[in-house]
């Protein structure tokens, strides 16, 4: 006769796993150069430049115009064996009213022509190494309290900290 495990402990375990990554209202705000932990990976904003244009000669922003947030974004892979695959849609900016702004891929490619920061379509950060890029966001000049947030799949190391990486905000104001 086969022995079966009681369903109660298994159901409780599954409920804990699924509820641990809920999208609660708790947000954690950190500053530039602080890390967001996502399993074995760490994301950070290394620097920020607010510019009125992507042209090096017209970088000063004027009030009321749309402005560019040039964010130097870094991925540090602390895994021992696994590469971390990511792309330029890894992060977005969310402002105080809840508007979302995605990376401007055309702006990023335009900026690469003058700054040569090593733009790629896709990245594969090897174990024990890091990669960085400059993300380009076009925001309205009157944006209020913009914060950078990251996205990603839920990995094993995210379950115990309740997928905190999805709730972390990097203050850009």
Domain boundaries, the chain: 25-171
Query: Could you give the CA distance from residue 45 to residue 51 in angstroms, rounded to a whole number?
Result: 17
Alpha carbon dihedral 51, 56, 60, 64, in 10-degree steps, equals: -60
Query: Could you give the CA distance from residue 43 to residue 37 in angstroms, rounded to a whole number?
Result: 7
Rg of the chain, C-alpha, whole Å = 19
Query: Could you give the CA distance from residue 73 to residue 59 in angstroms, rounded to a whole number?
Result: 20
pLDDT for position 165: 76
Task: Give the class (CATH, top level) of 25-171.
Answer: mainly beta
49 band by pLDDT with thresholds 50, 70 and 90: very high
Counting residues of the chain whose pLDDT is more than 70, the rounded percentage is: 73
Contact 65, 17 (CB under 8 A): no
Supply 133's token pair.
Answer: 């890029």
Supply 173's token pair.
Answer: 């104001």
DSSP state, residue 144: -
Query: Could you give the CA distance from residue 161 to residue 40 in angstroms, rounded to a whole number?
Result: 13
Higher pLDDT pick, 119 / 24 = 119
Question: For the segment 86-144, what is each residue's pLDDT rounded down to a tens digit?
Answer: 999 999 999 999 999 999 999 999 999 999 999 999 999 999 999 999 999 999 999 99
């Amino acid at each position: 006769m086969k022995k079966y495990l009681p369903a109660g402990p298994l159901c409780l375990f599954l409920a804990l796993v699924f509820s641990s990554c809920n999208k609660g209202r708790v947000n954690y705000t950190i500053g530039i150069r602080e890390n967001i932990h996502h399993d074995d990976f760490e994301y950070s904003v290394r620097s920020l430049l607010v510019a009125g244009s992507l042209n090096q000669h017209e970088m000063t922003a004027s009030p009321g115009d749309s402005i560019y947030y040039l964010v130097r974004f870094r991925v540090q892979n602390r895994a021992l064996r696994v590469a971390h695959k990511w792309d330029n849609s890894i992060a977005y900016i969310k402002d105080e009213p809840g508007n979302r702004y995605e990376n401007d891929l055309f702006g990023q490619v335009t900026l690469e022509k003058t700054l040569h920061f090593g733009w790629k379509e896709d990245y594969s950060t090897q174990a024990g190494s890091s990669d960085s890029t400059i993300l380009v966001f076009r925001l309205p000049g009157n944006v209020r309290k913009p914060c950078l947030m990251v996205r990603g799949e839920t990995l094993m190391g995210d379950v115990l900290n309740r997928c905190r990486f999805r709730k972390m905000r990097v203050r850009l104001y």
